[in-house]
């Protein structure tokens, strides 16, 4: 073993310290923070609109125990809100996502900067990659505008995000489109960021969109969008070149989202009925999703299917956007009215066309009136019901007179001579084959006489000693108060 003197040992230790310092400096310098990419989408939006912008930033940083901060700054005319972010890294043990917020760096009370803190809990100076993705809502200014979205990564979070790292940038433009589209005529020009609808006819694509757009994703992927827009066009997003980052519009289905009839208490009475006392205090409430493309129109038909829109509406029948208009049926016909709403031009099909009904009842009880007091057999009499509301499809009732036969008297005169009758419940006529004498009395019962059908007419028969039954005659035992059958006359005692 080599023995070193004290002086030599001290010199050797000094050399080792110098070499260690040089090595540490070299390691720290070997992992500079660099930004490899910045993506912001979309880069073109409509004037005076609020849009969700997605972003993605990739950086390489040093794990040293000091927090870092990512900043993405929009032009000062924009107002940011609702930020969100996700962090991915190859050193999740030491790096994680911290606070995500929007801040106002310019002092105009509108936040224009998105800030994401990267928490660094490691040590040793090793390199690590950080990928930050997320979104932020940005309200665009009014009128045409162009500006730049910039990003910076602040190492050590010392407030110098734009100097520690060379900031990336992306251009961002806005376009004015609303004033150039006429919803009453359903025609005009739309610009990037606009929504158009199935069946929309006279539409022009402006703001660099071109005349032929390509679907970006979903059912629209690869499909072509041109004017006029087909009713069966796949809904979704279409851009000028088919990419997600290019200028684009969205195709949607036109819908009537709200349609009802309300009474004076704001209760929905659609499909029901109202009395005369409340028929003059109704309102029709309408809302729909295609107000930027077309107006809507109301139509009212009475129970006779006549158009009475101008007579019963207390406001305009055609309007734009969410609206309610008065409905007065108090001077109209009794019955059910049909109310319909649809787009005023191209958008009048499918979910953009809805209808309902409302019944009008008078304030009196229903009754029945017949147009004649007497009727001859075979004739027809009409009846009406004042005060009753007919349904959507009704007709007057009719009654056909039946036979005008005079009703038969419920009692028949008693016979004399050899014909015997029983009017007392104490005895009843003998049955078939009875040879005379009263029958056994019934206890505690009194039979009430009832009218019976007249026996059928037949030629008189000659009495004979043989007992026979006449067809069609009712049983004498079950039908009291009738004359004794002919065959009993020779055997029954004479009635007193």
112 and 139 share one domain: yes
3-state SS class at 73: strand
**Shared-domain flag, residues 135 and 45:** yes
Q: Is 141 found in the same domain as 231? A: no
The phi, psi pair for 11, rounded to 5°, reads -65, -40
Q: What is the dihedral of CA 217, 218, 219, 224, to 10 degrees?
A: 0
Q: Domain check: are 198 and 159 in the same one?
A: no
Domain-located, residue 369: no
**Domain end: 252, 285, 315, which one?**
252
Total structural domains in the chain?
3
Cα dist. 62→21, 30, 67, 122, 127 in Å? 18, 10, 10, 9, 5
Tell me, yes or no, if the pTM score tops 0.75: no
Residues 343, 230 share a domain: no
What are the tens digits of pLDDT across the range 371-424? Answer: 666 666 666 666 655 555 444 444 444 444 444 444 444 444 444 444 444 444
Domain of residue 136, residue span: 34-175
429 in a structural domain: no
- Are 48 and 139 in the same domain? yes
Final residue before a domain boundary, out of 153, 175, 197: 175
- The answer to whether residues 190 and 210 belong to one domain is yes
Q: Is residue 13 part of a domain?
A: no
Q: What does the DSSP assignment read for 405-449?
A: PPPPPS--PPP-TT-----STT-----TT--SSPPPPPSS--PPP
CB 58 within 8 A of CB 129: yes
Q: Indicate whether 433 belongs to any domain.
A: no
Both 345 and 266 in one domain: the answer is: yes
Say if 245 falls within a structural domain.
yes
- In a shared domain, residues 122 and 194: no
State both tokens at 385: 């019901």
In a domain, 187, yes or no: yes
> Do 170 and 88 share a structural domain?
yes
pLDDT of residue 158: 59
Residue 308 is assigned to a structural domain of this protein: yes
Both tokens of 175, joined, read: 């376009």
Give me the pLDDT at residue 25, please. Answer: 41
Residue by residue, pLDDT tens for the chain (496 residues) are 445 455 555 555 555 544 454 444 433 333 345 555 677 777 777 777 788 888 888 888 888 888 888 888 888 888 999 999 999 999 999 999 999 999 998 888 888 888 899 999 988 888 888 888 999 998 887 766 677 787 777 776 655 544 344 445 556 665 554 456 788 888 888 888 889 999 999 999 987 788 999 999 889 998 999 999 999 999 999 999 999 878 889 999 999 999 999 999 999 999 999 998 899 999 999 999 999 999 999 999 999 999 999 999 999 999 999 999 999 999 999 999 999 999 999 999 999 999 999 999 876 555 565 666 666 666 666 665 555 544 444 444 444 444 444 444 444 444 444 444 444 444 444 444 444 445 455 554 555 555 555 655 555 555 544 444 444 445 445 455 555 455 544 444 444 4
Dist CA 67 CA 194 (whole Å): 41
C-beta neighbour count of 339 within 10 angstroms: 23
Residue 226 has a pLDDT of: 94
Same structural domain for residues 170 and 279? no
Is there a single domain that holds both residue 96 and residue 222? no
Last residue in a domain, options 252, 271, 301: 252
- Cα-based distances in Å from 432 to 421, 435, 474, 476: 16, 9, 12, 9
Bridge pairing between strands 113-120 and 126-139: unpaired
Strand partners, 264: none
Structure token digits, residue 330: 């108090």
Can you give the CATH number for the domain in which 301 is found? 2.60.40.10
The CATH number of residue 79's host domain is 2.60.40
């Amino acid at each position: 073993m080599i023995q070193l003197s004290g002086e030599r040992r001290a010199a050797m230790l000094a050399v080792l310290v110098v070499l260690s310092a040089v090595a540490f400096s070299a390691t720290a310098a070997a992992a500079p923070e660099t930004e490899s990419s910045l993506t912001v989408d979309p880069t073109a939006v409509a004037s005076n609109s609020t849009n969700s912008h997605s972003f993605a930033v990739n950086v390489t940083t040093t794990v040293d125990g000091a927090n870092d901060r990512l900043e993405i700054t929009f032009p000062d005319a924009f107002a940011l809100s609702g930020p969100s972010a996700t962090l991915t890294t190859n050193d999740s043990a030491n790096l994680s996502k911290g606070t995500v917020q929007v801040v106002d760096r310019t002092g105009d009370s509108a936040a224009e900067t998105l800030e994401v803190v990267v928490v660094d809990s490691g040590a040793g100076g090793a390199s690590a990659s950080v990928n930050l993705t997320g979104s932020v809502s940005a309200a665009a200014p009014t009128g045409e505008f162009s500006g730049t979205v910039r990003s910076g990564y602040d190492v050590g979070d010392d407030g110098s995000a734009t100097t520690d790292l060379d900031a990336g940038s992306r251009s961002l433009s806005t376009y004015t489109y609303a004033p150039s589209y006429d919803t009453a005529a359903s025609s005009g020009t739309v610009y990037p960021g606009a929504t158009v609808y199935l069946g929309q006819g006279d539409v022009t694509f402006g703001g660099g969109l071109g005349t032929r757009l390509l679907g970006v994703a979903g059912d629209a992927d690869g499909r072509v969008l041109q004017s006029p827009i087909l009713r069966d066009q796949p809904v979704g997003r279409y851009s000028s070149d088919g990419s997600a980052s290019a200028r684009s519009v969205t195709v949607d289905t036109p819908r009537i989202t709200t349609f009802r009839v309300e009474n004076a208490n704001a209760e929905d009475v659609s499909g029901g009925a109202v009395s005369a006392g409340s028929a003059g205090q109704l309102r029709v409430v309408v809302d729909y999703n295609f107000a930027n493309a077309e107006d809507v129109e109301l139509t009212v038909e009475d129970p006779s299917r006549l158009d009475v829109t101008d007579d019963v509406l207390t406001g305009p029948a055609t309007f734009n956007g969410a609206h309610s208009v008065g409905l007065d049926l108090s001077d109209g016909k009794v019955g059910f009215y049909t109310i319909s709403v649809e787009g005023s031009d191209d958008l009048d099909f499918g979910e953009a066309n809805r209808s309902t009904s409302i019944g009008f009842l008078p304030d009196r009880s229903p009754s029945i009136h017949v147009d004649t007091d007497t009727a001859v057999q075979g004739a027809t009499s009409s009846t009406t019901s004042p005060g009753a509301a007919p349904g959507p499809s009704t007709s007057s009732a009719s009654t056909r007179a039946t036979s005008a036969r005079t009703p038969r008297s419920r009692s028949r005169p008693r016979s004399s001579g050899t014909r015997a009758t029983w009017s007392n419940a104490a005895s009843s006529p003998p049955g078939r084959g009875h040879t005379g004498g009263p029958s056994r009395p019934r206890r505690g019962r009194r039979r009430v006489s009832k009218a019976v059908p007249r026996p059928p007419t037949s030629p008189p028969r000659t009495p004979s000693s043989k007992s026979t039954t006449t067809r069609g005659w009712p049983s004498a035992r079950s039908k009291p108060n009738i004359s004794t059958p002919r065959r009993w006359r020779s055997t029954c005692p004479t009635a007193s």
